[in-house]
Structure 1
Protein backbone atom coordinates (compact mmCIF):
# COMPACT_ATOMS: atom_id res chain seq x y z
CA UNK A 1 0.00 0.00 0.00
CA UNK A 2 1.28 3.49 -0.76
CA UNK A 3 0.12 7.06 -0.59
CA UNK A 4 0.76 9.98 -2.89
CA UNK A 5 1.05 13.67 -2.19
CA UNK A 6 -2.25 15.25 -3.17
CA UNK A 7 -1.06 18.83 -2.71
CA UNK A 8 1.04 21.03 -0.48
CA UNK A 9 -0.89 23.26 1.95
CA UNK A 10 0.29 26.67 3.11
CA UNK A 11 -1.49 28.41 6.00
CA UNK A 12 -1.87 32.17 5.63
CA UNK A 13 -4.04 35.15 6.59
CA UNK A 14 -5.13 36.05 3.02
CA UNK A 15 -5.38 32.98 0.79
CA UNK A 16 -6.12 34.92 -2.39
CA UNK A 17 -3.25 37.40 -2.02
CA UNK A 18 -0.66 34.74 -1.19
CA UNK A 19 -1.85 32.35 -3.93
CA UNK A 20 -1.64 35.15 -6.51
CA UNK A 21 1.95 35.89 -5.45
CA UNK A 22 2.96 32.23 -5.78
CA UNK A 23 1.17 31.97 -9.16
CA UNK A 24 3.41 34.73 -10.51
CA UNK A 25 6.52 33.19 -8.98
CA UNK A 26 5.95 29.62 -10.23
CA UNK A 27 3.89 30.29 -13.39
CA UNK A 28 1.04 28.22 -11.94
CA UNK A 29 -2.64 28.75 -12.80
CA UNK A 30 -5.96 28.47 -11.02
CA UNK A 31 -7.45 24.97 -11.07
CA UNK A 32 -9.50 24.76 -14.30
CA UNK A 33 -13.16 25.45 -13.52
CA UNK A 34 -12.35 26.64 -9.98
CA UNK A 35 -11.11 30.24 -10.15
CA UNK A 36 -9.71 31.88 -7.04
CA UNK A 37 -11.40 35.12 -6.03
CA UNK A 38 -10.57 37.84 -3.49
CA UNK A 39 -12.01 36.83 -0.13
CA UNK A 40 -11.88 33.08 -0.82
CA UNK A 41 -10.68 31.35 2.38
CA UNK A 42 -9.08 28.53 0.34
CA UNK A 43 -7.26 29.03 -2.95
CA UNK A 44 -5.63 26.23 -4.92
CA UNK A 45 -3.19 26.74 -7.78
CA UNK A 46 -1.72 24.13 -10.12
CA UNK A 47 1.35 23.66 -12.29
CA UNK A 48 -0.13 23.28 -15.79
CA UNK A 49 2.82 21.10 -16.82
CA UNK A 50 3.12 18.64 -13.92
CA UNK A 51 -0.22 18.93 -12.11
CA UNK A 52 1.47 19.74 -8.76
CA UNK A 53 -0.96 21.71 -6.61
CA UNK A 54 -0.50 24.24 -3.81
CA UNK A 55 -3.42 24.99 -1.50
CA UNK A 56 -3.50 28.23 0.50
CA UNK A 57 -5.82 28.15 3.51
CA UNK A 58 -6.72 31.06 5.75
CA UNK A 59 -6.17 30.44 9.45
CA UNK A 60 -7.01 32.60 12.45
CA UNK A 61 -3.45 32.54 13.78
CA UNK A 62 -0.20 31.69 12.05
CA UNK A 63 2.31 29.35 13.62
CA UNK A 64 6.02 30.12 13.70
CA UNK A 65 6.87 30.89 10.04
CA UNK A 66 10.03 28.79 10.16
CA UNK A 67 7.89 25.67 10.42
CA UNK A 68 8.99 22.15 9.64
CA UNK A 69 8.02 22.04 5.97
CA UNK A 70 9.12 24.42 3.23
CA UNK A 71 9.55 24.41 -0.53
CA UNK A 72 12.93 24.20 -2.25
CA UNK A 73 12.71 25.84 -5.67
CA UNK A 74 15.12 25.15 -8.54
CA UNK A 75 15.08 27.59 -11.48
CA UNK A 76 14.00 26.13 -14.81
CA UNK A 77 15.37 28.75 -17.20
CA UNK A 78 17.61 31.01 -15.07
CA UNK A 79 20.58 30.50 -12.80
CA UNK A 80 20.05 30.31 -9.06
CA UNK A 81 21.37 33.86 -8.61
CA UNK A 82 19.18 35.25 -11.41
CA UNK A 83 16.15 33.53 -9.87
CA UNK A 84 16.95 34.99 -6.45
CA UNK A 85 17.02 38.48 -7.98
CA UNK A 86 13.72 37.83 -9.81
CA UNK A 87 12.03 36.60 -6.63
CA UNK A 88 13.32 39.54 -4.59
CA UNK A 89 11.90 41.89 -7.25
CA UNK A 90 8.51 40.15 -6.83
CA UNK A 91 8.53 41.12 -3.16
CA UNK A 92 10.25 38.24 -1.35
CA UNK A 93 12.61 38.98 1.52
CA UNK A 94 16.07 37.42 1.96
CA UNK A 95 16.31 35.60 5.31
CA UNK A 96 19.68 33.85 4.95
CA UNK A 97 22.16 33.78 2.09
CA UNK A 98 23.84 30.37 2.20
CA UNK A 99 25.55 30.61 -1.20
CA UNK A 100 29.20 29.56 -1.14
CA UNK A 101 32.19 30.93 -3.08
CA UNK A 102 32.46 27.65 -5.03
CA UNK A 103 28.95 28.22 -6.48
CA UNK A 104 27.14 25.69 -4.32
CA UNK A 105 24.64 26.57 -1.60
CA UNK A 106 21.22 28.17 -1.53
CA UNK A 107 19.25 31.16 -0.27
CA UNK A 108 16.44 31.18 2.29
CA UNK A 109 13.67 33.67 1.49
CA UNK A 110 10.19 34.58 2.74
CA UNK A 111 7.12 35.30 0.68
CA UNK A 112 5.13 38.46 1.57
CA UNK A 113 3.16 36.46 4.17
CA UNK A 114 6.32 35.25 5.95
CA UNK A 115 6.36 31.67 4.60
CA UNK A 116 9.93 30.52 4.08
CA UNK A 117 11.31 28.77 1.01
CA UNK A 118 14.74 28.11 -0.46
CA UNK A 119 16.19 28.62 -3.92
CA UNK A 120 18.81 26.08 -4.95
CA UNK A 121 20.91 25.79 -8.10
CA UNK A 122 19.26 24.86 -11.38
CA UNK A 123 19.63 21.34 -12.79
CA UNK A 124 22.06 22.75 -15.37
CA UNK A 125 24.19 24.38 -12.67
CA UNK A 126 24.30 21.16 -10.64
CA UNK A 127 25.21 19.12 -13.74
CA UNK A 128 28.06 21.50 -14.54
CA UNK A 129 29.57 21.39 -11.04
CA UNK A 130 33.08 20.05 -10.72
CA UNK A 131 33.49 16.53 -9.30
CA UNK A 132 35.30 18.04 -6.29
CA UNK A 133 32.22 20.07 -5.28
CA UNK A 134 29.97 18.13 -2.88
CA UNK A 135 26.30 17.79 -3.83
CA UNK A 136 23.80 20.03 -2.09
CA UNK A 137 22.30 18.44 0.96
CA UNK A 138 18.93 18.64 2.60
CA UNK A 139 18.74 21.50 5.03
CA UNK A 140 16.22 23.37 7.08
CA UNK A 141 14.93 26.81 6.14
CA UNK A 142 16.68 28.51 8.99
Structure 2
Protein backbone atom coordinates (compact mmCIF):
# COMPACT_ATOMS: atom_id res chain seq x y z
CA UNK A 1 0.00 0.00 0.00
CA UNK A 2 1.21 3.54 -0.77
CA UNK A 3 -0.19 7.08 -0.84
CA UNK A 4 -0.15 9.83 -3.43
CA UNK A 5 -0.15 13.61 -3.09
CA UNK A 6 -3.77 14.70 -3.27
CA UNK A 7 -2.83 18.37 -3.15
CA UNK A 8 -0.28 20.79 -1.78
CA UNK A 9 -1.51 23.07 1.02
CA UNK A 10 -0.37 26.64 1.61
CA UNK A 11 -1.11 28.28 4.98
CA UNK A 12 -2.02 31.95 4.54
CA UNK A 13 -3.99 34.91 5.90
CA UNK A 14 -6.33 35.46 2.90
CA UNK A 15 -7.06 32.27 0.97
CA UNK A 16 -9.14 33.95 -1.74
CA UNK A 17 -6.66 36.72 -2.56
CA UNK A 18 -3.69 34.33 -2.59
CA UNK A 19 -5.48 31.76 -4.78
CA UNK A 20 -6.48 34.55 -7.19
CA UNK A 21 -2.87 35.74 -7.31
CA UNK A 22 -1.49 32.26 -8.09
CA UNK A 23 -4.10 31.31 -10.75
CA UNK A 24 -2.64 33.44 -13.57
CA UNK A 25 0.94 32.77 -12.46
CA UNK A 26 0.49 28.99 -12.83
CA UNK A 27 -2.39 28.88 -15.33
CA UNK A 28 -4.54 27.09 -12.71
CA UNK A 29 -8.33 27.36 -12.48
CA UNK A 30 -11.02 26.97 -9.82
CA UNK A 31 -12.42 23.47 -9.35
CA UNK A 32 -15.42 22.82 -11.56
CA UNK A 33 -18.58 23.46 -9.56
CA UNK A 34 -16.63 24.88 -6.59
CA UNK A 35 -15.65 28.49 -7.33
CA UNK A 36 -13.49 30.39 -4.88
CA UNK A 37 -15.15 33.49 -3.49
CA UNK A 38 -14.09 36.37 -1.24
CA UNK A 39 -14.36 35.31 2.39
CA UNK A 40 -13.76 31.61 1.74
CA UNK A 41 -11.31 30.26 4.31
CA UNK A 42 -10.20 27.46 1.99
CA UNK A 43 -9.65 27.97 -1.74
CA UNK A 44 -8.52 25.17 -4.05
CA UNK A 45 -7.15 25.70 -7.55
CA UNK A 46 -5.98 23.08 -10.04
CA UNK A 47 -3.80 22.69 -13.11
CA UNK A 48 -6.21 21.88 -15.97
CA UNK A 49 -3.50 19.83 -17.70
CA UNK A 50 -2.02 17.72 -14.88
CA UNK A 51 -4.79 17.90 -12.29
CA UNK A 52 -2.34 19.02 -9.56
CA UNK A 53 -4.18 20.99 -6.90
CA UNK A 54 -3.10 23.78 -4.55
CA UNK A 55 -5.16 24.46 -1.43
CA UNK A 56 -4.85 27.87 0.21
CA UNK A 57 -6.10 27.68 3.79
CA UNK A 58 -6.39 30.52 6.29
CA UNK A 59 -4.66 30.07 9.62
CA UNK A 60 -5.37 32.27 12.64
CA UNK A 61 -1.70 32.77 13.55
CA UNK A 62 -0.66 36.43 13.61
CA UNK A 63 2.73 35.37 12.25
CA UNK A 64 2.62 32.56 9.74
CA UNK A 65 4.70 29.50 10.61
CA UNK A 66 8.02 28.90 8.86
CA UNK A 67 6.66 25.64 7.41
CA UNK A 68 3.72 27.02 5.45
CA UNK A 69 3.52 24.39 2.72
CA UNK A 70 2.76 20.73 3.28
CA UNK A 71 1.57 17.64 1.41
CA UNK A 72 -1.86 16.13 1.86
CA UNK A 73 -1.59 12.42 1.12
CA UNK A 74 -4.39 10.08 0.07
CA UNK A 75 -4.19 6.27 0.18
CA UNK A 76 -4.02 4.65 -3.25
CA UNK A 77 -5.87 1.66 -1.79
CA UNK A 78 -7.25 0.74 1.61
CA UNK A 79 -8.38 3.28 4.20
CA UNK A 80 -6.96 6.35 5.86
CA UNK A 81 -6.54 4.44 9.11
CA UNK A 82 -4.74 1.52 7.44
CA UNK A 83 -2.38 3.97 5.76
CA UNK A 84 -1.92 5.81 9.06
CA UNK A 85 -0.83 2.54 10.71
CA UNK A 86 1.64 1.91 7.86
CA UNK A 87 3.09 5.42 8.09
CA UNK A 88 3.48 5.20 11.88
CA UNK A 89 5.27 1.87 11.43
CA UNK A 90 7.49 3.60 8.86
CA UNK A 91 8.53 6.21 11.45
CA UNK A 92 6.00 9.05 11.11
CA UNK A 93 4.71 10.63 14.31
CA UNK A 94 1.24 12.04 15.05
CA UNK A 95 1.13 15.82 15.48
CA UNK A 96 -2.68 16.24 15.59
CA UNK A 97 -5.54 13.76 15.15
CA UNK A 98 -8.54 15.42 13.50
CA UNK A 99 -10.46 12.26 12.62
CA UNK A 100 -14.20 12.54 13.25
CA UNK A 101 -13.82 16.23 14.16
CA UNK A 102 -16.63 17.25 11.82
CA UNK A 103 -18.73 14.12 12.36
CA UNK A 104 -18.49 10.45 11.44
CA UNK A 105 -16.18 9.55 8.57
CA UNK A 106 -14.51 12.96 8.36
CA UNK A 107 -11.15 14.52 8.98
CA UNK A 108 -7.50 13.67 8.69
CA UNK A 109 -4.38 13.12 10.77
CA UNK A 110 -1.45 15.54 10.81
CA UNK A 111 1.86 13.65 10.86
CA UNK A 112 5.54 14.55 10.87
CA UNK A 113 8.43 12.87 9.10
CA UNK A 114 11.73 12.18 10.91
CA UNK A 115 12.83 15.83 10.42
CA UNK A 116 9.49 17.20 11.69
CA UNK A 117 8.17 18.19 8.26
CA UNK A 118 4.40 17.98 8.61
CA UNK A 119 1.99 16.31 6.21
CA UNK A 120 -1.58 15.04 6.43
CA UNK A 121 -3.18 11.68 5.66
CA UNK A 122 -6.70 12.02 4.27
CA UNK A 123 -9.49 9.52 3.74
CA UNK A 124 -9.27 7.46 0.56
CA UNK A 125 -11.37 8.23 -2.50
CA UNK A 126 -13.52 5.16 -1.73
CA UNK A 127 -14.10 6.36 1.86
CA UNK A 128 -15.15 9.83 0.66
CA UNK A 129 -17.48 8.38 -1.96
CA UNK A 130 -19.05 6.07 0.64
CA UNK A 131 -19.68 9.14 2.83
CA UNK A 132 -21.19 11.00 -0.13
CA UNK A 133 -18.32 13.43 -0.60
CA UNK A 134 -16.26 13.28 -3.78
CA UNK A 135 -13.93 16.22 -3.07
CA UNK A 136 -10.79 15.54 -1.02
CA UNK A 137 -10.69 16.35 2.66
CA UNK A 138 -8.92 19.62 3.16
CA UNK A 139 -6.31 20.39 5.73
TM-score, structure 2 as length reference: 0.46
Higher relative contact order (CA 8 A, sep 6+): 2
Q: Which has the higher strand share?
A: 2
TM-score, structure 1 as length reference: 0.45
Q: Which has the larger radius of gyration?
A: 1
